A and B are shown apart, each in its own frame.
Chain A
Amino acid sequence: MADPMRIRANMTGDKVEVKVLMSHDMETGLRKDAQGKIIPAHFIRNVTVTHAGKTVLAAQWGTSVSRNPFLHFRFRGGRPGEKVAITWLDNKGENRTDEAVIAGG
């Protein structure tokens, strides 16, 4: 089971500013271990952010994204007290969803 994400969601003016820290190895599949064997690729493929039943961000990621990725974005239409849900899905089919409540700005 993957570790929980750390999510901060704050109102900045009329927008919601979201900062997400994800815990993921993000292996490229190009590296070798101490025995010289290739470490299989393991990376986040899709990131989806939903708010009030609507998708506010959808991203396709690849192996060029760093380990333990940090995602920072803003969207309109959120209010304090509402929830933002973030989901990632990786190439091994593992996934994780976490929620955060939007804090006042």
Chain B
Amino acid sequence: MRIHRVLAGVLTAMLPCFAPAQQDTLKEIERYRQLLQESNPAELYQARGEELWKSRRGPKNASLERCDLGLGPGVVKGAYVRLPRYFADTDRVQDAESRLVTCMVALQGFTLEEAKRNPFSGTGVPMITSDPFSGVGQRSVMTDLVAWIASESRGMAIAAPMSHPKERLAYQAGERLFYYRAGPYDFGCVTCHGEEGKRIRLQNLPRMTNPKDAQRAFGTWPGYRVSEGELRSMQWRMWECVRQMRFPELEFASDASIALITYLAKKAEGGTFDAPAIKR
């Protein structure tokens, strides 16, 4: 009798295994993602970023609340997924970071150098770069701000505009850069991101010409890198890829970096933005 009851218990416990396996796996992965998201330290950066957006800083003692990220002064909701885009006041295509530089200069009175200093936070990365990027445990205002701005577009569709000629020009330049091979290893973005099924160690590399891969890649930056204990932005992603290709250093917020991001944004068009994400 007792054995029967135990058996019945075991059988009941096993029942879920007989349910359609595929669906269960997907559900479990979804649950795992949610668990990871709940423990994502990117939230700490977002909270700081929101504070920084509202706090008065710089020689003009002003906040960034009048900053125009493309949807009008002060509109942050949905701004990130519609970047990079053309801005008439600067007459150039800008991404989130370069636009923040513009706002820090125009609204808060920082010099261009001050606004661009320390674009990436903390430790880990800047093994080879000189001071502006380095400093162990150093926080980056830029990274915090971008984390918050990106988080305000979570769940929305990636939709960088392509109507202005300069936006199309940036896309074309980005495409050229993507396929451009050079340096001591004759490397280019396309070496790693132009073919299906490539990986570095165990990290699968997205093929950027495949919309699904591009959407997933673009939609998960900025991301918190567990291995580095830092939040990393899209500008950093470009900078780091270029460094790994042994190219000359990609200047932060430069036209080249924005062109690459514009190209990727277009390739990822229509994907769901799900950042700041958490990465290995």
Contacts and interface: CB of A to CB of B under 8 A. Distances in A.
Interface string B131-170: 0001111000000000000000000000000000000000
Contacts of A3: 44, 47-48
Interface in B103-148: 123, 126-127, 134-137
B136 A6 contact: no
Interface string A4-27: 101010000000000101010111
Interface stretch (B6-14, B16-24, B35-43, B211-219): B35-43
Contacts of A52: none
B229 interface: yes
Contacts, number: 41
A39 B123 CA distance: 11
A19 B38 contact: yes
Given A6-B43, A8-B38, A33 B136 contact: yes
Given A6-B44, A6-B47, 5 more contacts: A3-B48, A21-B39, A21-B40, A34-B136, A39-B137
Contact of B44 (A19, A23, A27, A72): A23
Contact of A68 (B41, B123, B134, B135): B41
Nearest to B44: A23
5 contacts: A6-B47, A21-B40, A34-B135, A66-B226, A68-B44
Contacts of A26: 229
Chain B at the A interface: SS class: loop
Interface of B: 38-41, 43-44, 47-48, 123, 126-127, 134-137, 226, 229
Contacts of A19: 38-39
B62 to A, nearest CB: 23
Contact of B229 (A33, A34, A68, A70): A68
Contacts of A51: none
Nearest to A19: B38
Interface string A22-46: 0101110001011000010000000
